[in-house]
Amino acid sequence: MSQTIVIAEIAKGAIHPTTAELITAANALGSAPIVIVPCTDSTIADAAGTIQGISKVIALKSDIFAEYDASGWATAIDAVAPSGIIITSANPQSKDLAARLAARRNISVVQDVVAIEGGNLVSPIYSGKAMQTVSLGGDAAVSVRANIFAASPQGASADVSVVDATGDMATAVEEFLARASTRLDVAEANIIISGGRGMGSPDNFSHLEKIADTIGAAVGASRAAVDTWEPISHAMQVGQTGKTVNPNLYIAVGISGAIQHLAGMRSSKYIVAINKDADAPIFQHADYGIVATWEEALPVLQASLSAMMN
Amino acid sequence: MTNIAVLVKQVPDTNARIVISDDRVDLSAVKMVMSPYDEFAVETALQHREASGGEVTAITVGGASADKVLKDAKAIGVDHIVRIDCDSYLDSNSLQSMISSVINEIGAEVVYCGKAAADTGAGSTGPGIAERLGWASVSNIISATFSDIISVVAPVQGGNARISVSLPAVISCDKGNVKVRKPNVKGIMQAKKAQVDVKSASPSSSSISIVSHSLPPSKPAGKTYEGGAAAAEVAQLLRDEANVI
């Protein structure tokens, strides 16, 4: 059984729930993992010790973990991680780290894994138009997509040891830039409601925002909408030249389902499509399809969801 | 004067249909193009040259058919074009070791690349070669300005930040607000005549191997409703059946 090492996912100063999914993936690939928690405050690592299926937790404490620096983080983590299969999440920063760690150890990296079948790793290629299955002939770094593996349950009490790390930052954050929008980012959301050109005008995205506010969702857009309407920013774009997302729920409104767009959202757990054209390709990928104009469907959806949330 | 390199990759047109035959992707009938994010990398490299002086070398890895992507880069304005000759499958480890050795050989001080190639979508090459070279790196930048250091805007948790990077460094480029220049007639003519500098590099051994390619599993047919009133039922199902609300 290969040794596995999970790099805990940290968001807003705490262990992100995705970490428990990485632990499930680690157990599928080898033995119960060592979980490394890069942190500035080692107490956050205690939350990793309660997840079942791990061997131990290393709280890797250093000021360098305040801001992401690829070189500094890889150096510090490499120093404490034993050899084995390193597992990270597949958000952009963690993929970057996985690539760095693999290169540091002269081992291969496999990104965006969505299934583990008999020890082999399955990941999407050509933006999800095909799948690739690879076998590992030794140690590797592996990034795993969120919302695919079941979270390993709570209820354990593994040892947490604190290790002070040192490392040099190769880059420096000069300033944080105010976001153009205060809305939740599609890359960080568990629920996304996206609009396409079928919304008719950028002003009509306010109807999507209203639903987003009701259920805590982010608002996304298709490339057609971003290219057509100035107020719809590229940061909202889901698809091959935008963001690849993997939420629990993706609601596509007035989006036909071009390959470009499907590439960025087809692995969402549940997909709802609202489109007036019954032949729109998006319906082939929807768990729940509603053939209707958005003007008919959105007020009903809004009212129903509001009633549920109260 | 800065010695600038930019990595480019030939990939299937992103609108192409992908076909599988004998457990492998069959690209024989597919139009090949420069990976879309690489266009932003080429543009950023050219802007860097305009700001600091110096020369830009575009590098790709592939067989002779990959020369086209280099000619495309030449037509847009790079100075030199280099192909690392290799026609077989390379894992990230082999690929990065070959590219790193050529970067060393040409003496580049900064390397630009796309945030991910449109075929693998992995985004491993930029940070991977930075680690091998012992360089700084920033990934997924959306803009850059150039002086003694490079100042970039890149995503961080919770938003974007302006980040300063000292050379040598590897910088991977997202779409951002960069407007990509198009080749002019003179550029296209020069590209036709340009010689590709073909280099060989020995790949290190690959520790992963491809078992198969397949089409994505088709989703079981969902439920479809007619008319907007059905949104009420769908909302209920999202809560009671899918458990996502």
B212-228 pLDDT per residue, tens: 999 988 778 899 999 99
* Amino acid A179: pLDDT: 67
| pLDDT tens by residue, B62-121 | 999 999 999 999 999 999 999 999 988 899 999 999 999 999 999 999 999 999 999 999
Residues A57 and A154 in one domain: yes
* Portion 14-53 of A in contact with B at CB < 8 A: none
Q: Specify whether the CB–CB gap between B39 and B10 falls below 8 A.
A: no
Rounded Cα–Cα distance for residues A235 and A242 (Å): 7
A27 part of a folded domain: yes
A180 and chain B: CB distance < 8 Å anywhere? no
Residues 285-304 of A with CB under 8 A from B: 285-293, 295-301, 303-304
Tokens found for residue B6 = 């930019």
Select from A130, A164, A198 the last residue of a domain.
A164
Any idea what the CATH number is for the domain that residue A110 is in? 3.40.50.620
Helices (H) and strands (E) in chain A, counts: 8, 18
Query: Quick one: A94 and A130 in the same domain?
Result: yes
Q: Is residue A178 part of a domain?
A: no
The gap between the terminal CA atoms of chain A, to the nearest Å, is 49
Reported pTM: 0.91
Decide if A126 and B232 are in contact by the 8 Å CB cutoff: no
**Chain A CA closest to residue B150:** A171
Q: CATH number, domain at A268?
A: 3.40.50.1220
Which pLDDT band, with edges at 50, 70 and 90, does A180 fall under? Answer: low
Dist CA A213 CA A49 (whole Å): 34
A125 and A10 within one domain: yes
**How many Cβ atoms from other residues are within 10 Å of residue B185's Cβ?**
8
Classify residue A97: in a domain, yes or no. yes
- In this structure, the answer to whether residues A89 and A132 fall within a common structural domain is yes
Residues A88 and A159 occupy one common structural domain: yes
Count of structural domains within chain A:
2
Q: Are residues A198 and A152 in the same domain?
A: no
What Cα–Cα distance (Å) separates residue A104 from each residue in A266, B7, B91, B141?
A: 33, 20, 15, 23
**B130 contacts chain A (CB < 8 A):** yes
Say yes or no: A97 and A127 in one domain.
yes
One domain, residues A129 and A69:
yes
Distance from CA of B195 to the nearest CA of A (A): 30
How far A274 CA sits from the closest chain B CA (Å)?
Answer: 9
Backbone angles phi, psi at A10, to 5 degrees: -115, 130
- Its domain, for residue A109, covers 4-164
Same domain? For A14 and A154 the reply is yes
- Residues A15 and A132 placed together within one structural domain of the fold: yes
Mean pLDDT of chain B: 94
Kindly report the nearest CA distance between residue A156 and chain B, in angstroms: 26
CA distance linking residue B65 with residue B46, whole number of Å: 24
Residues above pLDDT 70, as percent of chain B: 100
CATH 3.40.50.620 fits B2-199, yes or no: yes
B99 in contact with A, Cβ within 8 Å: no
Q: Do A248 and B244 touch (CB under 8 A)?
A: yes
SS3 B99: helix
Look at residues B185, B179, B149 and name the one whose alpha carbon lies nearest to residue B165: B149
Chain B residue with Cα closest to A171:
B165
User: Which whole number is the average pLDDT over B186-211?
Assistant: 91
The verdict on A242 and A284 lying in the same domain is yes
Q: Is residue A52 part of a domain?
A: yes
Interface test with B, best of A129, A214, A269 (most B CBs within 10 A): A129
Q: What percent of chain B has pLDDT over 90?
A: 85
Give a yes or no: residue A181 inside a domain: no
Q: Evaluate whether residue A17 is within a structural domain.
A: yes
Q: Is the pLDDT of residue A33 over 80?
A: yes
Q: In terms of Cα–Cα distance, which of B245, B211, B216, B221 is closest to B231?
A: B245
